[in-house]
Amino acid sequence: MYRNIKMKLLFKSLLIFFFFSLNLYAEKISVFEFTKEEFETLKPRKVRGSDASTEYSLGSNENGNFLKAVANNAASGLGKEIKIDLNKTPYLNITWKVEKDLKGIDERSKKGHDYAARVFVVKKTGATLLSNRAMNYVFSSNEKINVSHPSPYTKKSIDYVLATTIDNLNEWVTVKVNVKEHFKNFHDLDLNDINGVAIMADTDNSEKRSVAYFQNIYFSAK
């Protein structure tokens, strides 16, 4: 009898663990895996007017796969169409590092609107690309954390500083931001979901060179 009770308790514990694990999995939506198979499906999109594309390559460390981005007077991004339910997983999580930054540029101007690392979150709000709204989360070389301003090219994209080389040059930094809240605050949009996420490193305006790394980009419930 004692053995039967013990087995029942063990079975209950395993069931609880199983359902808890499923719940955790449901609350974390990975955006990029940075595997060779995924990388081959991502097509770089060069920024209009740029003469060169950013060089992207894969690597790995003790924390998993990462993407390396080297921009030498270049600008291109890697995007993925993915629908994220912001009611369930509103938080964007990014682990990234800037090895070589872009000190001394005016990131709020067209001539200096470059970032060694940025992650765009996009919501389609019309039939054309120009009608889309975006939050552009950046690793700034000159601004302070939580500084925000519209892109000098379009008010439909907001630059928001999540990390800065003033504090963390050549150091891995993990950040988290409530995307649903930001679209409400900056675009006055109460969104249920977003449609895409893109990574970019660009130096075409400043004509400088930057080196950055991206890792563990995912959405979470908390």
Write the pLDDT tens digit of every residue in 88-146: 999 999 999 999 999 999 999 999 999 999 999 999 987 666 679 999 999 999 999 99
In this prediction the pTM is 0.86
Q: 3 pLDDT exceeds 90? A: no
**How many structural domains are present in the chain?**
2
Note whether 145 and 204 are same-domain residues. yes
The CATH code of the domain that includes 54 is 2.60.120
Q: Judge if 68 and 154 occupy the same domain.
A: yes
Q: How far apart are CA 141 and CA 100, in angstroms?
A: 9
| The pLDDT value given to residue 49 | 66
Domain shared by 80 and 94, yes or no? yes
Question: Quick check: 135 and 154 in contact, CB under 8 A?
Answer: no
39 three-class SS: helix
Q: In which band, very low, low, confident or very high, does the pLDDT at 51 lie, cut at 50, 70 and 90?
A: confident
> Which amino acid, residue 96?
W
Residues 53 and 15 both lie in one domain: no
Please name which of 8, 190, 169 lies closest in space to residue 87, comparing C-alpha atoms: 190
Is 217 within 8 Å of 67 (Cβ atoms)?
Answer: no
- Cα dihedral value 162, 163, 164, 165, nearest 10: -160
Within this chain, do residues 152 and 199 fall inside the same structural domain, yes or no? yes
Q: How many CB atoms lie within 10 A of CB 121?
A: 24
Cα–Cα dist 216/165, whole Å = 19
**Pair (208, 164) in one structural domain:** yes
Asked if residue 36 and residue 5 are part of one domain, the reply reads no
Q: Residue 155 belongs to what domain range?
A: 31-220
Whether 24 and 89 map to the same domain: the answer is no
Indicate whether 135 and 145 sit together in one domain: yes
From residue 71, alpha-carbon distances to 34, 45, 98, 102, 179 in Å are: 18, 13, 12, 11, 27
36 and 25 together in one domain: no
